[in-house]
């Protein structure tokens, strides 16, 4: 389901470039051809955080019981109907997120942490946060 969100965020790339803001993904692993398979859906730079520092000291996970949640199945069906497929490789229980981080002391301007698999950020919220970034001189 992250591929669906990656494609939606990638659709913002022209506006982000106009504002001078890069689009970057931080992923936790690269099993097999995982990143290569992800690239068609994400137009920004992709970095692998093998030590999972970016994921914080308390990694947020949703165990196997997460699959019985109605919202997860609704998100899965939405992504599947849109033509997005995932994979069953690697560690798939760590929840992700989307952050807009400003330079210097601006810090985090938007923080969206998945509450369940497929819980996507609103791209309008991303653009709103990006427009608050004050360039460093």
Residue of 2, 21, 62, 129 marked catalytic: 2
- Residue pair 50/29 in contact (Cβ under 8 Å)? The answer is yes
Residue 90: its pLDDT value, please?
47
Stronger pLDDT, 47 or 118, i.e. the higher one: 47
Residue 25: its pLDDT value, please?
93
Q: Strand 97-102 and strand 107-113: pairing?
A: antiparallel
Residue 89: its pLDDT value, please?
54
Residue 99: its pLDDT value, please?
93
**Cα distance between the two ends of the chain:** 38
Q: How far apart are CA 13 and CA 9, in angstroms?
A: 7
Rounded average pLDDT over 12-19: 96
Structure tokens at 56: 């914080």
Residue 79: its pLDDT value, please?
60
For residue range 49-83, list pLDDT tens digits in order.
888 777 665 555 555 555 666 666 565 666 667 76
Residue with tokens 């699959």: 67
Structure tokens at 40: 């068609």
2 is a catalytic site residue: yes
Residue with tokens 């970095």: 47
Among candidate residues 104, 101, 121, 107, the one with its CA nearest the CA of residue 7 = 121
Query: Up-side HSE of residue 110: CA atoms within 13 Å toward CB?
Result: 18
Backbone φ, ψ for residue 6 (5° rounding): -60, -40
Residue 32: its pLDDT value, please?
82
Among candidate residues 27, 52, 44, the one with its CA nearest the CA of residue 126 = 44
């Amino acid at each position: 389901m992250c591929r669906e969100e990656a494609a939606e965020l990638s659709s913002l790339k022209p506006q982000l470039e106009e504002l001078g803001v890069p689009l970057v993904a931080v992923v936790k692993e690269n099993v097999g051809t995982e990143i290569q398979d992800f690239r068609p859906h994400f137009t920004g730079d992709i970095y692998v955080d093998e030590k999972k520092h970016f994921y914080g000291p308390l990694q947020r996970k949703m165990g196997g019981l997460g699959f019985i949640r109605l919202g997860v199945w609704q998100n899965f069906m939405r992504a599947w109907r849109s033509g997005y497929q995932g994979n069953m490789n690697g560690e798939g229980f760590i929840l992700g997120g989307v952050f807009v981080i400003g330079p210097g002391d601006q810090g985090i301007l938007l923080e969206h942490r998945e509450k369940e698999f497929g819980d996507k950020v609103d791209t309008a919220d991303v653009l709103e946060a990006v427009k608050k970034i004050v360039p460093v001189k």
